Each structure stands twice: as C-alpha cells, then as structure tokens.
Chain A
Amino acid sequence: MPDLLKKMFEAQRQHPAAALANAFDIIKANFITILILIFVGTGGKQGDYTLYWIFGTFVALLIWGVISWLRFQFSVNEGELKIEQGVFVHKKLYLTSDRIQVIDITAGVIQRIFGLVAVEIKTAGSSSKEAKINAISRQEAEKLKKLLRKGGEQETEEISEKANKIYALDNRDLVIAATTSGRMGVALSIVGAVFSQLDQVISDQEIIRFIETHLPNFTSFSIVVISIVGMILAAWVLSFLSTIITYYDFKVEIREDDLLISRGLFERKQLTIPFNRIQAVQIKEEILRQPLGYASLVIESAGYGEDQGNSNTLFPLISKERMHAFIDEVIPEYHVKVDHTVSIGKRGLRRYILQMVWLSLGIIAVVWSMVPYGVYAWFILPFMLLLGYQQYRDAEVKSGEDTIIMSSRLLSKTTAIIKKYRIQAIEVKQNPFQSRLDLADLIIHVASGNQGRTFKVRELVDEQATAYKDWLANSKRKRQLEADIDQDQSSESIE
C-alpha cells in the first residue's frame, strides 16, 4: 500500500487515450452547433465539401486533444489534488479533500475501448470548481478516490464498500419510463432545429414538386397536420431512445453512508452520493406517468451537475405504492409525519386561471398570425384552463417536525421534501395584484450542484406564507438554543 500511495503523489499524465476523449468531449458538448454548422456551411449546393468540413474539424479537435493531454498533469499531496492544465492559459487547480463533495467515475465509449475510466471531482457552492481526469485506469481511479476521501477513513471505507441493498430498474419499467419520458420537450426542440435546417438542403420547389407528383389529393391543411404529427413522432422516438440509453441497467446500491447510482448503455455512469450531502428530495409526477400511477424520484445534492440541471435521478420510475417503502428504506429521514397543511384558497384560484388565460392568449395570438390554419390554436384554451385549475388543486405546503413539503405543478407535478436545516434562503414575494388580494408566493432556495435550486408555491394567503417563513426561521432559533444547552451540559459533565 505505501508504495502505491507514493506513486500517486508524483505528478503524472493521463493515459494517451485522453487525447481522443478530449476531442469527443468537445464534440459532445457542441453537438447541435456542429450539426447546424455543417448544414449551413455547405448550404446544400456544394455537398461535396461536407466531408472535408467534417474531416477538417475532427483533425483540428484531435490536435487540440493531444495538446491538452500534453499540458495536463495531476498529483495528490496530503489529501490535496493538484491539476495543471490549459492549452493557451496555464491553469493550476487545487482541491482539498474536505471540500470535495463528489467523486464520479464514468466510462464513455472511448474509455471503454481502452478499458479506462474518467474521474470527475466536484466541490460545492457558488464558487464551485470541478476537475475532470479523462482517462486513467480503473485501479488508479479507485486509488485516487480512496486518497481523496478524507485520509483517515480508509479502513471504514472498506467496510462500507459492501452494498447493504440494491434496487434495480427492470426492463419492463425501463420501457414504460422511456415511453412516457418527459424528455419530449427537449427532443421536440432538437427535431424542430433539424427541420428548420432542412430547407437549406432541400429547396421548397423540390418539396412542392414531390408533393404534387406523389400526393396529388392532399390539401395544404393535411400537409400541415401530417408534418406536425411527424415531428411529434420523431421527437417521441428520440426521447424514447435517449431514455433507454441513459437509464439502461439502472441500479442504486445503498451503503453505509452513501448511495451508489450506476446507469447507462454506451456510457456507464457511476455516481457516489454521500447521504449527508443530500439537500432535498423531489417526487416528480410527469403528466404521462401520473395516470399510470408512476413517479420518479430526484435528489438534489451539493456538488452535482448531472441530468436535469443539477439534480440527480434517484430512481427513474417507481409506482406510487412502492415509493413510500423505497423512501423508508433508502432515505428514511425524508419520510415524515405531516402535522400542518396549507392549500390555496379561492382567491388564489382566480389568479391561477387568469395566468393561464393570458398565457394562452399570447400563444394563440402568435400562432394565429404566423402559421397557416393558426385559428385552430384556440383549441388549446380549454386545455390550458384545465391545467390552470389542476395547478391550483396541486399547489400545497405541508410541514412536519423539521421538514417542509412543497407541491406545485407546471406541467408535471413536483413535490419537494426539504429539511429545514438545509434551506439556504427563504423568500416571500408579492406583486401589486397579489397584495390587493393578500396573496404571496413562498420561495425556498436549496443548494444543488453549483447553483442551487428554487422551489416555489404560488398564491398562498399572505399570512400563511409569512407564518411559514417565520416558522422556518424561528424553529431554527429553537434548534440553536437546544444545541447550546447540549453543549453546556456536556461541558459540565466533563468538569
């Protein structure tokens, strides 16, 4: 063991495969931009150049990757990770082990070819830093992890290495999750972007000629309908596939003091989340899953920048009956008895409905004026009103002992369970229309990733919102007092 440690102290480079991985990282991060550049860059006329474009970009990125591999060195010294990197600007990054929140080990396609892994190291807070070592062997990664998890804990680490319990997502649930995935929105925007670039490649005349020769009986109305349906279908397929790829072979291992989540088809992701870093738990009921009685569980944890902004999926799909058992076993402190509930009053309903009316009138105005057959946009109005009513019904604030539970709905329903002592800031917000009706919004900020997450319940009665704000503040004071007393007693007993 000692000589292994010594080896880690010295500055060293990554495996050369990092050059390739660096290049692919850039491609992955700018995939859509590159796609559009290729479409626009060729303009459809001289299609022959497309290949040169792709090839040239790839070679440039590869050279960049090699240089950044050469410039990258890392070492560990007394629990401090030091990374030197930078192609043009030389950067030195120091991360001390007691500030490190998260050490992720992932294996992408490139890494798998060479039998390597990538290690990501993150700290918390608004000035959060993250470091990524793109290609090292698995043993080295594990060693690094052990070294950076506070020095003295090495022996306990070994005990807690054993999983107490494993939850896995079976294939049937995976398919259900993919079918009802809430990623439609993202997928739709990608498909939309590609569609909007299509006319660069195929000219309008070609499309019209094609339609006239092959589908003479179609009116332009049915063409509009068909293309909308086509786009939605394409988006659905895309979101289906992306969900399968992301959550394939999903597993949660519960260990002594952390959760180990692994998932992914091409790229195996492995996240370790210490229990004491969990900031809040969210139950998300997507609009397509809710009628089937399914929800997904998401945890906010300081120091993560993963899917869905900064949150992490704790379990992608779980039936509502099983959920309580799951919470009880995995995160028991988030199962609390509720002793106080506040829902939105009638006055609030008016504002929920009105907001939807303004929103839909806006959408209708735009669609009506811009799109042929836009008149049919009026059909969305009743749906929006229904949504507004449902938002009003779902909005609720509950509390028990030291926990606040906030439910609200935009499109899918989100229930956030937040421990009082995790709250970073509390806000009560009131605009002139609300103050006339004595209503206010209650907003709670929680640390998550490097920015934080906001939970909001709209149109609470002003007094109730303020009462909650005071309760959150005052009971903290009580906690503080109790802590003081405890300290006094312990110091007495020492004497």
Chain B
Amino acid sequence: MRSSPQQKLSKSAIKAWRVSTAIVCLVFILIPLFFWVYNTFSPSNTNFSIWLIGSISAVLFIISGLIIFFLPEIRWQHWYYQVDEHEIDLQSGIFVITRTLIPVKRVQHVDTRQGPILRSYGLADVTISTAATTHRIPALDEKTADQVRDRISKFARLAKEDV
C-alpha cells in the first residue's frame, strides 16, 4: 500500500489565496453597490427596494468574510504533493478528495507560473502537462517551485519514451 504524499505547499499560500479570493469577492460585492448607486441617481421612480439590496449585500459580506478567512487555510491543509523519479503524486480537495498519479515519463513539459499576487508573496505555481491532461501544484515558494520543476524535467528526460 502506498502512503499518501507528504509534501505541503508553502505556508504563505494561505495569504496569497486570501488576497485573490478577496478580489473575487469584491467583484460580487460591487453588484449590489451598483444597484444602490443606480437607486440614488436614477431619475425615474422604478427604484429597487433598499431593504432587498441591503440584505443581499449583508449576506454577501458575511459569506465573503467566511470564504476569505477560512477557505484558504482549509484548502492549504488538504493539499499534498510528492515528486519522485517514477511518479508525481497529488492529493487535494476538501469535500471531494482527488488523488492524482502522473507517471513521470508521460510528462510533456513543466512550467512555473506567477501572477502579480503570487509574485508579491514570492510564490509560483508549477504546471505539469501530459499529452492528455494538465495538472497544477499551486503556490510553492519560488525556490521550491524551481526545484520541483527542474526535478520533474530531469526525471522526465531520464525516462523518455515515445508519446
């Protein structure tokens, strides 16, 4: 029986995810705000109920608060990965637990990717592509990400086979 993968993501992943979730939530909070602005400046009488807008935004506020503060932490706790010379082993998911195994010799190429948020926390995603699928190990710190990428690519080179 194989054991579960052991490696964890970088701890600062939680902070970075909080920021990116916050940005997404902000967009949703903007929607009731838009209606409120429309209400105050609209010349006609066909206004939306201020109570409805108020309660919707309150609910949105609470939900986004919960999502921003708890979800990244829980998500981080459930993410494991491991890379050895034969397989890349990933386990993730809070409710739906997915365990993925990618034979290293199937790997076509490996990327590291970094958006502005990840960069400001010194993090990067590692993306692994096979001929059929694309997988992601999110939010590793830059150095680890580079190492993981280079290791996978080295192993893949050693175990090269046709398609």
Chain A contacts to B: CB under 8 angstroms: 101, 124-127, 276-277, 279, 302, 421, 423-432, 435, 445-448, 451-453, 466, 469-470, 472-474, 476-477, 480
When the two chains form their complex, are residues A425 and B132 in contact, meaning their CB atoms are under 8 A apart?
A: yes
When the two chains form their complex, are residues A302 and B1 in contact, meaning their CB atoms are under 8 A apart?
A: no
When the two chains form their complex, are residues A425 and B96 in contact, meaning their CB atoms are under 8 A apart?
A: no
Q: Give chain B residues whose Cβ lies under 8 Å from the Cβ of A476.
A: 86, 103
> Nearest 6 A-B pairs (CB), nearest first?
A452-B132, A447-B131, A424-B132, A424-B130, A426-B101, A447-B132
When the two chains form their complex, are residues A126 and B129 in contact, meaning their CB atoms are under 8 A apart?
A: yes
Chain B count of residues within 8 A CB distance of the other chain: 26
Q: Give chain B residues whose Cβ lies under 8 Å from the Cβ of A448.
A: 132
When the two chains form their complex, are residues A466 and B86 in contact, meaning their CB atoms are under 8 A apart?
A: no
Once the chains are docked, how many angstroms separate the CA of A430 from the CA of B86? 24
A interface footprint on B95-117 (CB within 8 Å = 1, 0 otherwise) = 11111111100101000000000
Once the chains are docked, how many angstroms separate the CA of A127 from the CA of B131? 8
Once the chains are docked, how many angstroms separate the CA of A435 from the CA of B95? 9
When the two chains form their complex, are residues A473 and B101 in contact, meaning their CB atoms are under 8 A apart?
A: yes
When the two chains form their complex, are residues B102 and A425 in contact, meaning their CB atoms are under 8 A apart?
A: yes
Taking the nearest CB of chain B, how far is it from the CB of A131, in angstroms?
A: 19
Taking the nearest CB of chain A, how far is it from the CB of B105, in angstroms?
A: 8
Once the chains are docked, how many angstroms separate the CA of A472 from the CA of B132? 17
Once the chains are docked, how many angstroms separate the CA of A466 from the CA of B1? 8
Once the chains are docked, how many angstroms separate the CA of A302 from the CA of B100? 22
Total cross-chain contacts (CB, 8 A): 97
Taking the nearest CB of chain B, how far is it from the CB of A103, in angstroms?
A: 16
- The contact of A431 among B1, B96, B130, B132, by CB within 8 Å, is B96
When the two chains form their complex, are residues B162 and A425 in contact, meaning their CB atoms are under 8 A apart?
A: no
Q: Give chain B residues whose Cβ lies under 8 Å from the Cβ of A431.
A: 95-97
When the two chains form their complex, are residues B103 and A428 in contact, meaning their CB atoms are under 8 A apart?
A: no
When the two chains form their complex, are residues B130 and A425 in contact, meaning their CB atoms are under 8 A apart?
A: yes
Known: A277-B163, A431-B96. A446 touches B1 (CB 8 A): no
Taking the nearest CB of chain B, how far is it from the CB of A387, in angstroms?
A: 24
Other than the given A425-B135, A429-B97, 5 more pairs (CB < 8 A) read: A124-B163, A127-B129, A425-B100, A445-B133, A476-B103
- The contact of B134 among A126, A429, A469, by CB within 8 Å, is A126
Q: List 15 A-B contacts (CB under 8 A).
A: A424-B106, A425-B100, A425-B132, A426-B100, A426-B102, A429-B97, A430-B97, A445-B132, A447-B132, A448-B132, A452-B131, A466-B2, A470-B2, A474-B2, A476-B86
Once the chains are docked, how many angstroms separate the CA of A448 from the CA of B131? 8
- The contact of B101 among A125, A279, A427, by CB within 8 Å, is A427
Is B73 part of the binding interface, using a Cβ–Cβ cutoff of 8 Å?
A: no
When the two chains form their complex, are residues A425 and B99 in contact, meaning their CB atoms are under 8 A apart?
A: no
Residue of B nearest to A429 (CB): B98
Once the chains are docked, how many angstroms separate the CA of A302 from the CA of B108? 13
Q: Give chain A residues whose Cβ lies under 8 Å from the Cβ of B162.
A: 276
Q: Give chain A residues whose Cβ lies under 8 Å from the Cβ of B58.
A: none
Once the chains are docked, how many angstroms separate the CA of A469 from the CA of B100? 9
Residue of A nearest to B107 (CB): A424
Residue of B nearest to A125 (CB): B131
A interface footprint on B117-148 (CB within 8 Å = 1, 0 otherwise) = 00000000000011111110000000000000
Q: Give chain A residues whose Cβ lies under 8 Å from the Cβ of B63.
A: none
- The contact of B108 among A125, A279, A421, A451, by CB within 8 Å, is A125
Is B159 part of the binding interface, using a Cβ–Cβ cutoff of 8 Å?
A: yes
Taking the nearest CB of chain A, how far is it from the CB of B109, in angstroms?
A: 8
Q: Give chain A residues whose Cβ lies under 8 Å from the Cβ of B130.
A: 126, 424-425, 445, 447, 452
Once the chains are docked, how many angstroms separate the CA of A446 from the CA of B131? 8
- The contact of B131 among A124, A426, A474, A477, by CB within 8 Å, is A124
Taking the nearest CB of chain A, how far is it from the CB of B58, in angstroms?
A: 29
Q: Give chain A residues whose Cβ lies under 8 Å from the Cβ of B95.
A: 431-432
When the two chains form their complex, are residues A424 and B98 in contact, meaning their CB atoms are under 8 A apart?
A: no
Residue of A nearest to B106 (CB): A424
Residue of A nearest to B91 (CB): A428
When the two chains form their complex, are residues A447 and B163 in contact, meaning their CB atoms are under 8 A apart?
A: yes
When the two chains form their complex, are residues A473 and B2 in contact, meaning their CB atoms are under 8 A apart?
A: yes
Taking the nearest CB of chain B, how far is it from the CB of A487, in angstroms?
A: 12
Q: Give chain B residues whose Cβ lies under 8 Å from the Cβ of A428.
A: 98-99
When the two chains form their complex, are residues B131 and A473 in contact, meaning their CB atoms are under 8 A apart?
A: no
Taking the nearest CB of chain A, how far is it from the CB of B146, in angstroms?
A: 22
Q: Give chain A residues whose Cβ lies under 8 Å from the Cβ of B103.
A: 423-425, 473, 476
